[in-house]
Copies of this chain bind each other. A is one copy, B any other.
Amino acid sequence: MFNFERQYTDSVTDIRWLDATEMAAWRAFVAASHLLERRIEEQLKAAAGLTHPQYEILVVLSESPGRQMRMTELARGVVVSKSALTYQITQLEKAGLVERTTCPSDERGVLAVLTDAGARCLERVAPGHVEVVREHLIDQLSREELHAVTRAMRKTEASLRTSA
């Protein structure tokens, strides 16, 4: 499973290791994002039996024109694999929060549509969710930090979306 050979032929590798500052940033980022993800998941599950991906699906749909979106685009929006989205939309359909419609313009396509019940569910759950995000992230940051984080994360997102 694991071998010992380096795939690079360089006799002296030119690896640019992370210095202390960079490593600190990376570690903090990983720890914070994992912890926050856990907390959010916990809150949503307790409050509404929703997972974070499910909640994000409802949010994205609610902001989409006609409260509907194609599967592939939705998967891209919530950053999840197509198969995971298929699974989650099925779950949300069972719960009556989302419906599937065949896309009129493309026979292959499927439109996920937010139902009224889904919209109401989102309204009901959003306050508690926002409070968690606010308490542990937003309200911890100065306005300046908020802007810096936004700039940084957008660059990261762009970098990742661009390269394949």
Contact = CB atoms under 8 A, between A and B. Distances in A.
A117 B148 contact: no
A160 B36 contact: yes
Nearest to A125: B2
Give this chain's copy count. Answer: 2
B32 A153 contact: yes
B152 A136 contact: no
A25 interface: yes
Interface residues of A, number: 77
A145 B6 CA distance: 32
B148 A145 contact: yes
Closest 3 CB pairs of A and B: A148-B148, A28-B153, A34-B79
Interface of A: 1-8, 13, 15-18, 21-22, 24-26, 28-39, 48-49, 56, 62-63, 79-80, 95, 97, 117, 119-124, 126-127, 130-131, 133-138, 140-141, 143-157, 159-161, 163
